[in-house]
Amino acid sequence: MISKCREFEDWLDDGRPAVREAAATVHAAGCERCRAALASVRSVEAALALPADVPAPAGFTDAVMQRVGAAEAQRAQGGEASWRRLLSPPRFSLCLRFLLQPEVVASVLFFALAAWQWSSIFLLASRLGPELALQADALSRALAGHAIEVPGSLRVLASPSIMLGVVAGALPLFLWFSWQLGRWSERAFATPRLVGLRPR
């Protein structure tokens, strides 16, 4: 039930939902002010239903086709333009575009290769390991002679819980950095360019 003019105005401003139309009609029947308001809304909507055609300026079609030709010429160059368009929004969702950035693809390929050749890498490490261990031992003996004192505060970092806390704190920073790197890469490699547009 709509008993107040304010409620009737709210109904008008909400687009005259059908669910309250009957109550609004009853109210308008007894309120001249609201009847006038309803008439004004109907007039506005009637005017809005009219087409918005306005004669385009002379030479409009020729100008459009000229720009289309220029855009086609750029697209026909292929190669770099083609893969740039592939990454242009909104062809793919933001997440997929991020995954297709060059540095992300390179990282994935690197780790995929590492995982594929893990046994070879492990074998290589096991061969190099003893040599590295000998070198580390020689280094530590060399350093021992100079008695390098590790500050007490830094020893705290060796605690597993502290290390876990540091990693947890650094993770958001890493994610933010990755996000910024992805956005930069998108601007650098994937921004669509249309020639023939007037500069603003």
Where on the chain is the footprint of other proteins (CB under 8 A)?
Answer: 12-15, 36-37, 40-41, 43-57, 60-61, 63-65, 67-69, 71-72, 75, 91, 194, 196-198, 200
- Prior bond of 90 cis (ω within 30°): yes
For other proteins, which is the closer residue by CB, 59 or 145? 59
103 contacts 177 by C-beta, under 8 angstroms: no
Distance between CA atoms of 106 and 36, rounded to whole angstroms?
67
For other proteins, which is the closer residue by CB, 69 or 102? 69
For other proteins, which is the closer residue by CB, 63 or 99? 63
For other proteins, which is the closer residue by CB, 63 or 105? 63
For other proteins, which is the closer residue by CB, 61 or 161? 61
How far CA 34 is from CA of 20, 29, 62, 187, in Å, comes to: 15, 9, 51, 54
For other proteins, which is the closer residue by CB, 146 or 198? 198
Q: Please count the other Cβ atoms lying within 10 Å of the Cβ belonging to residue 44.
A: 10
> In the complex, what is the shortest distance from the CB of residue 22 to other proteins, in angstroms, rounded to a whole number?
20
> In the complex, what is the shortest distance from the CB of residue 33 to other proteins, in angstroms, rounded to a whole number?
9
Which residue has 């590790």 as its token pair?
150
> In the complex, what is the shortest distance from the CB of residue 125 to other proteins, in angstroms, rounded to a whole number?
49
196 contacts 67 by C-beta, under 8 angstroms: yes
- Identify the H or E element spanning 96: helix 94-99
> In the complex, what is the shortest distance from the CB of residue 90 to other proteins, in angstroms, rounded to a whole number?
9
> In the complex, what is the shortest distance from the CB of residue 43 to other proteins, in angstroms, rounded to a whole number?
6
> In the complex, what is the shortest distance from the CB of residue 198 to other proteins, in angstroms, rounded to a whole number?
6
Which residue has 């070879």 as its token pair?
120
67 contacts 194 by C-beta, under 8 angstroms: yes
Distance between CA atoms of 37 and 8, rounded to whole angstroms?
9
Distance between CA atoms of 15 and 198, rounded to whole angstroms?
39
